[in-house]
């Protein structure tokens, strides 16, 4: 049975990726993914050697052929995404950033002037790293369907884990609680939530807990940079207790994390005897005993 | 002065979008610039309101989109709607006379209505989030979009909040979500200026490059704010110089700033000299706009 764990936070910049990378140094026989497909950073620390590249079709975008368009405007009225507007002259055009690829305009155009073309601006990769296999992605700017791309990445990781008899999959998750976050937590066994001791961090973590509870996923918490505000850190600890969330522990602010990042290493590699590395080692043991 | 729309975006999360948005709002209001409105478009994790503890809620409205409902009495189970739906949101199983819509997958495009030849599909509103308006002591206040937990419809919530506020007479500041996907593009697509917040770390630089790609694709005028300056390395400065990207201001990492931010305080009120960074930011921004 493969154990799948996703690292999330609600709020961005709390340390999801640095902590995922540290766990990569500690986990044995594990496959990793970067599910933060629109601002992926894990590869900067894991330095993958890519051996498979795939294009991901994120849906379609409509295109209007201005030669055959008769300017009737039926498409503009029907489009609920305000993606179609009149150009100078009498023809219409599609704003690709607004188009959600529903193809309604294509179906109702009386002169067949509209076609849908697949958007091929997204890629996903399978790589070797010094810690094991990594499945990661690059999403083109402004692309839709990041949730679907996350699902593709996770599916591939599962396949690899089965082929290689891996014990664990660790997913580095995106910030927020929306579409890609939902895609990165459905069906996983555990969530590790990285919280920073700020009111925003607490607010965002509360919304994330609401989400993981909805999905019935057991959630662990780590308070990162805990000494930046010990009062709020204590407040978060109390809230976690109330919510019945298991707090693995607190990691004080440590600029070794940044130095490690600059040298392209995990904290466990860069400063194995540091307090942060020792704490993370303890946390990982706790998760594995669970 | 004419109306102006400014968006605060970042690529990487936790680089100070909210801090910039609320302090910019505060500083512009104090400067007596005309009618400033703050709009929180980080609808997955809206935090701006935390920074206005004395703000009064003056309105809360439900944000809905229309989802189809299939009338089993009229449905002939022909499956044309299934064929039209690009989001796999409709399931029809003719032998057992089953027809259902998965509201969490429906994009509310309306294609199924066009598909149905038997008048069996009608639409009903489905709540995807809320819009909350706050009155602040000075200025035109804060309008917040808040996605309902468990739903993947961040972009429609943003679209709604933007539609309602777009005719505001004065300056609008939009606080964008992190990342570079469709929700970010929706936030910044129609603005006059984008402020990109970043930090001088490898993650910060990597995600800044992605964000720059987005704003350049959209042909936006933009400038950079470096937060937590001196915490990492100097590669970001070389990048800005090489690509001729204007730096609006850099704000050093200080424990005091981190602490007051943690408490959701308006920093220009409580940290000596902090307001000067914003005066410089505003000054440089208006220079670029002229």
Nearest CA in chain A to B104: A179
Residue B250's nearest CA partner among B285, B209, B280 is: B280
pLDDT at position B33, please?
72
pLDDT at position A58, please?
80
What's the whole-number average pLDDT of chain B? 95
Is A104's pLDDT higher than 90? yes
Q: Which residues of chain A lie closer than 8 angstroms to B153, CB-CB? A: 178-179
Residues A98 and A232 in one domain: no
Q: What is the ipTM of this complex?
A: 0.93
Residue B18's nearest CA partner among B56, B53, B51, B54 is: B51
Residues A107 and A16 in one domain: no
Residue A290's nearest CA partner among A194, A171, A189, A216 is: A189
Contact B7, B20 (CB under 8 A): no
Please state, in angstroms and rounded to a whole number, the distance separating the CA atoms of residues A18 and B264.
25
Residues A157 and A43 in one domain: yes
Q: Do B12 and A13 touch (CB under 8 A)?
A: yes
Please state, in angstroms and rounded to a whole number, the distance separating the CA atoms of residues B280 and B84.
53
Nearest-CB residue to B149 (from A59, A144, A207)? A207
Query: Quick one: average pLDDT of A116-137?
Result: 94
Residue B104 pLDDT grade (very low, low, confident, very high; cuts 50, 70, 90): confident
Structure token digits, residue B267:
């920093």
For chain B, residues classed under CATH 3.30.70.20 are 64-127
Query: Quick one: average pLDDT of B267-286?
Result: 94
Contact A209, A184 (CB under 8 A): no
| Cα Rg, chain B, nearest whole Å | 22
- For residue A280, give the H/E element and its range: helix A275-289
B160 Cβ contact partners less than 8 Å away, ≥ 6 residues apart: B63, B129, B131, B145
Nearest-CB residue to A104 (from B111, B217, B261)? B111
Residues A150 and A244 in one domain: yes
The residue from A118, A134, A151 where one domain ends is A118
- Structural domain containing residue A14: 3-47+142-289
Residues A241 and A167 in one domain: yes
Is B34's pLDDT higher than 90? no
Residues A88 and A219 in one domain: no
Is B186's pLDDT higher than 80? yes
B143 Cβ contact partners less than 8 Å away, ≥ 6 residues apart: B37, B38, B39, B40, B131, B132, B133, B134, B161, B164, B165
Q: What is the pLDDT of residues B132-158, one digit of tens each?
A: 999 998 899 999 999 999 999 999 999
Query: Quick one: average pLDDT of A230-247?
Result: 96
* Helices (H), ranges, B117-234: 154-165, 182-188, 202-217
Residues A70 and A196 in one domain: no
Q: Is B150 helix (H, G, I), strand (E, B) or coil?
A: coil
Structure token digits, residue B221:
């005028």
Is A89's pLDDT higher than 80? no
Nearest-CB residue to A176 (from B45, B210, B232)? B45
Q: Which residues of chain B lie closer than 8 angstroms to A200, CB-CB? A: 18, 45, 47, 50, 264
Angle at A42 between CA A41 and CA A45, to 5 degrees: 105
Please state, in angstroms and rounded to a whole number, the distance separating the CA atoms of residues A63 and A47.
39
pLDDT at position A16, please?
98
**Structure-token match 């009229």, residue found:** B74
Residue A35 resides in a domain:
yes
Residues A67 and A180 in one domain: no
Please state, in angstroms and rounded to a whole number, the distance separating the CA atoms of residues A44 and B203.
8
Nearest-neighbour CA in chain A from B144: distance (Å): 15
Q: Is the overall model pTM greater than 0.80, yes or no? A: yes
Residue A87 pLDDT grade (very low, low, confident, very high; cuts 50, 70, 90): confident
DSSP state of B219: T
Nearest-CB residue to B14 (from A12, A60, A108)? A12
Nearest-neighbour CA in chain A from B154: distance (Å): 6
In what order do the strands lie in the sheet containing B247-252?
B56-70, B121-135, B142-147, B36-40, B171-175, B4-9, B193-198, B221-229, B247-252
Residue A251 resides in a domain:
yes
Residue A130 resides in a domain:
no
Is A140's pLDDT higher than 90? no
Residue A150 resides in a domain:
yes
Residues A77 and A220 in one domain: no
Is A44's pLDDT higher than 90? yes
Is B243's pLDDT higher than 70? yes
Residues A164 and A205 in one domain: yes
Q: What is the pLDDT of residues A4-29, one digit of tens each?
A: 999 999 999 999 999 999 999 999 99
Mutate to test the interface with B, among A103, A140, A179 (most CBs of B within 10 A): A179
Strands (E), chain A: 3-8, 30-34, 49-56, 60-64, 84-86, 92-94, 114-118, 122-129, 132-138, 168-172, 190-195, 218-224, 246-251
Name the domain count of chain A: 2
Question: From residue A251, how far is each of A18, A274, B135 by CA, in Å?
Answer: 12, 11, 38
Q: Do A100 and B147 touch (CB under 8 A)?
A: no
Residues A168 and A278 in one domain: yes
Please state, in angstroms and rounded to a whole number, the distance separating the CA atoms of residues A195 and A14.
6
Q: Which residues of chain B lie closer than 8 angstroms to A41, CB-CB? A: 12, 202-203, 206-207
B193-198 vs B4-9, strand pairing mode: parallel
Nearest-neighbour CA in chain B from A108: distance (Å): 8
Out of 1.10.10.10, 3.20.20.70, 3.30.70.20, 3.90.75.20, which CATH number does the structure's domain B64-127 have?
3.30.70.20
Residues A101 and A228 in one domain: no
Q: Which residues of chain A lie closer than 8 angstroms to B11, CB-CB? A: 39
Query: Quick one: average pLDDT of A114-141?
Result: 94
pLDDT at position A225, please?
97
Residue A52 resides in a domain:
no
pLDDT at position B269, please?
87
Please state, in angstroms and rounded to a whole number, the distance separating the CA atoms of residues B155 and A144.
10
CATH of the domain at A151: 3.40.50.300
Residue B198's nearest CA partner among B168, B173, B231 is: B231
Structure token digits, residue B205:
């630089």
In what order do the strands lie in the sheet containing A3-8?
A49-56, A122-129, A132-138, A30-34, A168-172, A3-8, A190-195, A218-224, A246-251
**Structure-token match 């309008």, residue found:** B143
* Helices (H), ranges, chain B: 17-30, 80-84, 111-115, 154-165, 182-188, 202-217, 235-242, 255-262, 267-270, 274-289
Nearest CA in chain B to A264: B202
Nearest CA in chain A to B213: A141
- B4-52+136-289 — its CATH code? 3.40.50.300
pLDDT at position B1, please?
58
Nearest-neighbour CA in chain B from A275: distance (Å): 20
Residue contacts between A and B (CB atoms, under 8 Å): 189
For chain B, residues classed under CATH 3.40.50.300 are 4-52+136-289
């Amino acid at each position: 049975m493969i154990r799948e764990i996703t690292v999330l936070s609600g709020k961005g910049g709390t340390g999801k990726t640095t902590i995922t990378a540290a766990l990569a140094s500690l986990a044995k026989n594990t496959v990793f993914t970067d599910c933060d497909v629109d601002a992926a950073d894990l590869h900067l620390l894991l330095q993958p050697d890519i051996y498979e590249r795939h294009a991901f079709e994120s849906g379609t975008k409509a295109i209007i052929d201005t030669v055959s368009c008769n300017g009737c405007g039926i498409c503009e009225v029907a489009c609920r995404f305000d993606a179609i507007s009149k150009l100078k002259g009498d023809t219409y055009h599609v704003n690709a950033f607004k188009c959600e690829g529903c193809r309604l305009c294509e179906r109702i155009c009386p002169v067949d002037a509209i076609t849908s073309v697949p958007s091929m601006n997204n890629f996903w990769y399978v790589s070797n790293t010094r810690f094991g296999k990594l499945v990661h992605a690059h999403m083109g700017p402004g692309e839709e369907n990041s949730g679907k791309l996350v699902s593709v990445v996770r599916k591939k990781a599962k396949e690899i884990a089965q082929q290689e008899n891996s014990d664990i999959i660790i997913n580095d998750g995106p910030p927020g609680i929306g579409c890609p976050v939902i895609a990165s937590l459905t069906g996983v066994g555990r969530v590790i939530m990285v919280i920073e001791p700020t009111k925003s961090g607490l607010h965002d973590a509360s919304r994330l807990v609401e989400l993981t509870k909805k999905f019935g996923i057991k959630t662990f918490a780590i308070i990162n940079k805990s000494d930046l505000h010990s009062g709020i850190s204590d407040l978060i600890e109390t809230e976690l207790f109330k919510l019945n969330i298991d707090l693995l522990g607190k990691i004080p602010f440590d600029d070794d994390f940044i130095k490690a990042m600059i040298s392209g290493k995990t904290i466990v590699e860069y400063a194995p005897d540091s307090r942060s590395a020792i704490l993370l080692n303890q946390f990982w043991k706790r998760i594995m005993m669970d | 002065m004419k109306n102006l729309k400014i968006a605060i975006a970042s690529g990487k999360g936790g680089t100070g979008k909210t801090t910039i948005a609320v302090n910019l709002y505060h500083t512009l209001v104090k400067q007596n610039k005309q009618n400033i409105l703050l709009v929180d478009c980080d609808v997955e994790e809206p935090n701006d309101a935390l920074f206005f503890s004395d703000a009064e809620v003056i309105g809360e409205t439900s944000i809905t989109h229309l989802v189809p409902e299939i009338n089993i009495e009229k449905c002939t189970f022909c499956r044309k709607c299934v064929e039209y739906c690009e989001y796999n949101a409709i399931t029809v199983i003719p032998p057992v006379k089953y027809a259902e819509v998965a509201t969490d997958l429906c994009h509310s495009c309306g294609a199924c209505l066009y598909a149905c030849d038997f008048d069996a599909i009608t639409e009903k509103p489905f709540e995807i989030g809320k819009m909350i308006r706050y009155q602040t002591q000075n200025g035109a206040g804060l309008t917040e979009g808040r996605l309902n937990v468990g739903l993947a419809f961040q972009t429609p919530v943003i679209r709604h909040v933007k539609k309602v506020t777009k005719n505001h007479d004065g300056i609008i500041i939009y606080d964008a979500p992190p990342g570079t996907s469709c929700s970010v593009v929706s936030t910044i697509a129609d603005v006059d200026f984008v402020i990109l917040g970043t930090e001088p770390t490898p993650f910060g630089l990597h995600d800044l490059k992605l964000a720059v790609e987005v704003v350049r694709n959209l042909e936006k005028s933009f400038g950079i704010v470096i937060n937590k300056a001196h915490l990492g390395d100097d590669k970001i400065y070389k990048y800005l110089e090489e690509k001729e990207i204007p730096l609006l201001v850099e704000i050093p990492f200080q424990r005091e700033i981190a602490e007051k931010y943690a408490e959701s305080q308006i920093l220009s009120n409580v940290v000596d000299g902090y307001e000067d960074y914003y005066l410089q930011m505003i000054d440089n921004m208006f220079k670029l706009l002229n």
